[in-house]
Amino acid sequence: MSKSCGLYRTTQPIGEDVPAGVLVYYHNHGDPGPGVYLPREWRNNRAQFHEEGITVPDESYADSLEPLLAEGLYRVVEPFYCCEKRCQYFEPELLVQLGYNGDAEAILFVPELIDGAIALPMEGILVDDERLVKLSALKVPESQMPNGPTPDVGAHGGTMLQ
């Protein structure tokens, strides 16, 4: 069975092009076949992926990909600290934005309400993967900014620059 399109962490390299332990967007029906796309930049704490992907060697490679939660807005359903060192406390019902760095490490950003508008911070807190189960995804409609690059969000939720 083929993996779903979405965000993943690699566990095996693809030659010298894709190292193990990095963030990729996996597309299961690319041309000439399933492939991974590396991040090219981050915009509003979300990865923007290269238009050109790297074809996976075979289906067993796809099976080795470690699935990640989708980037986006979440609410904290159970209180937790970011890590064993207890650097940052996340209280119940807190609004957070989940993103990832290039090493596929989860980062939580805590938006602020400024003059009636939600502002996304540029810096976030690294969070251990096992704590992400304490988040619940929010449903937020998405649209594009006029006069900017047009991301292709598509049916799979990943963002590919056009």
The single-letter DSSP state of residue 17 is T
SS3 59: helix
Q: Which two tokens stand for residue 121?
A: 């911070």
Predicted confidence (pLDDT) at residue 155 exceeds the cutoff of 50? no
pLDDT of residue 31: 73
At 96 the three-state DSSP class reads: strand
User: Tens digit of pLDDT for each residue in 106-123?
Assistant: 999 999 999 999 999 999
Q: Could you read off the pLDDT of 63-107 as tens digits, one per residue?
A: 999 999 999 999 999 999 999 999 999 999 999 999 999 999 999
For residues 36 and 5, give the distance between their C-alpha atoms in angstroms, rounded to a whole number.
Answer: 10
**pLDDT score for 162:** 36
Residue 70 to residue 90: CA distance in whole angstroms:
19
pLDDT in tens, 13-53: 999 999 999 999 999 987 778 999 999 999 999 999 999 99
Structure tokens at 147: 């006069």
Residue reference for tokens 């965000």: 7
The reply to whether omega before 79 is within 30° of 0 (cis) is no
- The DSSP secondary-structure symbol of 39 reads E
Every domain of the chain and the residues it spans: 6-68+151-161, 72-137
**How sure is the predictor about 156, in pLDDT bands with cuts at 50, 70 and 90?**
very low
Q: Which amino acid is residue 27, in one-letter code?
A: H
| Residue 45 · residue 104 · CB < 8 Å | no
